[in-house]
A = this chain, B = another copy of it.
């Protein structure tokens, strides 16, 4: 696709293909997998775990990429920067994100590690437990950050997962600096409680420079040390202009300049797989903000998008979100 003069949102993240399989709690226990979290795994562990996993289905994933898929489904314009390898799963990732109208031109990694895979076990309670082999995705570097593309985006959205490798972290800071220097907004998702714990000091310093922050209740608690939900939201809100904290089935809260908006969750007949819930919530909120809606209205779109994501297996919308919001 040709780049529009300006786009709504640019996502930067780990480009990952998900391998989704249903498994019982006993499988998680036997494999020592923490339910609901994201664990980084190396090549050997990836092979060992995969060899014991039930049959899977492969779908494009990656947190920020899922968010861009959501924004595109809502009718927003967006692009994505992330690193795949020049292999079959890399082709799958590139095809799928382009097919939904998201600009994607990051040069694939040649002759090195394979495209990232996330082995996701879905338990009968619809929780997803993720085991990520970062592969090529962690080779995203500052060289991959297209400065013109960042300057063209109203919001550059970064995932905390990028902090897990030095090269990608450098790309993260590079993207944030270019966006701010161009007078654009920077959004960040904390991504994962364990990810916050691994990079606590840096995240604490960083959020002073973030315009729109996304977290779930556990991540907010991990970063602030405040275990009470409202206290954690207040602590984040003191540092960051717009703070969006999800609260599972209770919905979410968006706090901004002293005001707190409580957003109800959208109803779901049957929760099948929570993979992508947070990613799609962020898609709805970012779309709403760039569409000029107030924060409550943006939050409600986030709830609708998250509800669609959890009603089926897989992290990206399977129905038009634009049609769902009417």
- Which A residues fall within an 8 A CB radius of B? 19, 50-51, 53-60, 69, 87-89, 92, 95-97, 99-100, 114-115, 314, 316
Contact = CB atoms under 8 A, between A and B. Distances in A.
28 contacts: A19-B92, A51-B95, A53-B95, A54-B99, A54-B100, A55-B60, A55-B69, A55-B95, A55-B96, A55-B97, A55-B99, A55-B100, A55-B316, A56-B92, A56-B95, A56-B96, A57-B57, A57-B58, A57-B59, A57-B314, A58-B59, A58-B92, A87-B87, A87-B88, A88-B88, A88-B89, A88-B114, A88-B115
A53 B96 CA distance: 9
A169 B19 CA distance: 33
Nearest to A87: B88
A101 B253 CA distance: 47
Nearest to A317: B55
Q: Which of A50, A87, A88, A96 has the most CB of B within 10 A?
A: A88
Query: Interface on chain A toward B: helix, strand, loop, or mixed SS?
Result: mixed
- What 6 A-B pairs are tightest by C-beta distance, nearest first? A58-B58, A55-B96, A88-B88, A55-B99, A57-B59, A88-B89
A134 to B, nearest CB: 16
A50 B56 CA distance: 22
A100 B53 CA distance: 10
Nearest to A99: B55
Nearest to A88: B88
A318 to B, nearest CB: 8
A257 to B, nearest CB: 38
